[in-house]
Amino acid sequence: MQTIYQQFSVNYSYPVVFSRNVFDRENPLLADLVGQGGSARNRALVVIDSEVARLQPELLERICRYGERHLPGLSFVAPPFVVRGGEICKREPLEVERIHALVERHGLCRHSFIIAIGGGAVLDVAGYAAATAHRGVRLIRMPTTVLAQNDAGVGVKNGVNAFGRKNFLGTFAPPFAVVNDFEFLRTLPLREMRAGMAEAVKVALIRDRAFFDALFASRRELARAASEPMERMIVRCAELHLEHICSGDPFESGSSRPLDFGHWNAHKLEELTDGALRHGEAVAIGIALDSLYSRQCGLLSEIDLHRILLLLEDLGFALYHPSLAWLDVEKALRDFREHLGGELTIPLLEGIGRKVEVHGIDTQLMKRCMVLLAERSARSCRAPDERPGTFIATDTGECP
């Protein structure tokens, strides 16, 4: 028998930029980033979230004017391609197929660019299409939601749903660059602003107590989407996610998944509600449930649990949803292990900012925690605030 072992390493590097008014004709940021690809002429296809196009009807024209201003270094091959926003674009293959068709029609190559503008679902779809066309067209992500700017848009994963499973199909493909334009947030409904805060709470709980304390101290300003604390939260949350990617297991070849704290059940809640629960809303419930379970296991103190639940509630999250009663805990854990691979590994809390990984869950105790959340919800008069759009310019503003 003969064996040849192949070994090589590949270095990845990409910038995550925080800016404003990226499509101002005189702002060179995007054109300069594309120019770093090494070509004097760079062809690009813009893919944009339908909800972003609806909320900013002038944006499509501004993108076209930006392209005209920065020729020949940046050349848009077609008007921006609008795809359906939200989970529907991940559930059906139509958008991916259409992006592939546009890549073929316009002769884009592996040195060309797809510029994806939108929320996490659209970034996932465009990223999956970019990663699978020619085995990889360069991708620039421009996240437009809090959740996408501080989490989903800055990492290396892309995915679409299949067989009724979230992110069943996907790739690990680092982007060429990520551009976070804070101006996109000004048109978001408050519910969408809030949804992105759950990932900040999650990463603070597992990695950074000082960040958690900062979120707790500014929770009332964050609850009304005051701009300064929101922007600080987004930058620090993105930074912590990137630190984990750099120092951990970026392509998830092992079993450890600390960034999935609160996610084994959140993904199932999204599926059970057919997307009616936003990802961040489901994650907030997942955080509450796994924090309560950590307390019931004797890992987490009562005061820490109290602060976690109070922060989530004061941010405006409901910590219970009727779909939690339909959750098959055993199957959800099996599916989670199958999706991630390897040994079942669930992060729990042994303190704020400190996680511990376990390889089994007492399902009866977990079900008891679900009952406790339901009882807590029944005692509470809190409900999510559905008032629209309030990315407030100053900390002293009020939601309209």
Q: Of the candidates 306, 320, 351, 319, which has an alpha carbon nearest to the alpha carbon of residue 216?
A: 306
Residues 201 and 137 in one domain: no
Contacts of residue 207, defined as CB under 8 A and 6 or more positions apart, other chains included, come to: 240, 243, 244, 258, 353, 355
Average pLDDT on 312-340 reads 91
Tokens of 170: 């996907």
Residues 282 and 216 occupy one common structural domain: yes
Question: Is 124 in the same domain as 98?
Answer: yes
Query: Per-residue pLDDT tens for 116-128?
Result: 999 999 999 999 9
* pLDDT value of position 258: 61
User: pTM of the prediction?
Assistant: 0.88
Q: Dump pLDDT digits (tens) for 184-222.
A: 999 999 999 999 999 999 999 999 999 999 999 999 999
Assigned domain for 197 exists: yes
Q: Does residue 363 register a pLDDT over 70?
A: yes
pLDDT for res 390: 36
Kindly report the average pLDDT of the chain as a whole number. Answer: 90
Residues 27 and 53 in one domain: yes
Tell me the per-residue pLDDT of 114-173, one tens digit each, with 9 for 90 and over. 999 999 999 999 999 999 999 999 999 999 999 999 998 998 999 999 988 888 999 999
Q: Tell me the average pLDDT across 296-301.
A: 96
Quick one: 183 and 136 in the same domain?
yes
183 and 198 share one domain:
no
Three-class secondary structure assignment of 7-61: CCCCCCCCCEEEECCCCCCCCCHHHHHHHCCCCCCEEEEEEEEHHHHHHCCCHHH
pLDDT of 224 higher than 90: yes
Q: Is residue 384 part of a domain?
A: no
| 187 burial type by CB count under 10 A (0-12 exposed, 13-18 middle, 19+ buried) | middle
What is the domain-level CATH number for residue 213?
1.20.1090.10
pLDDT digits (tens, 9 = 90+) for 250-289: 776 654 566 789 998 998 999 899 888 999 999 999 999 9
Query: What is the span of the domain harbouring residue 152?
Result: 16-187
Q: What is the pLDDT of residues 367-383, one digit of tens each?
A: 999 999 999 988 875 44
Whether 394 shows a pLDDT value over 60: the answer reads no
- Tally of domains within the chain: 2
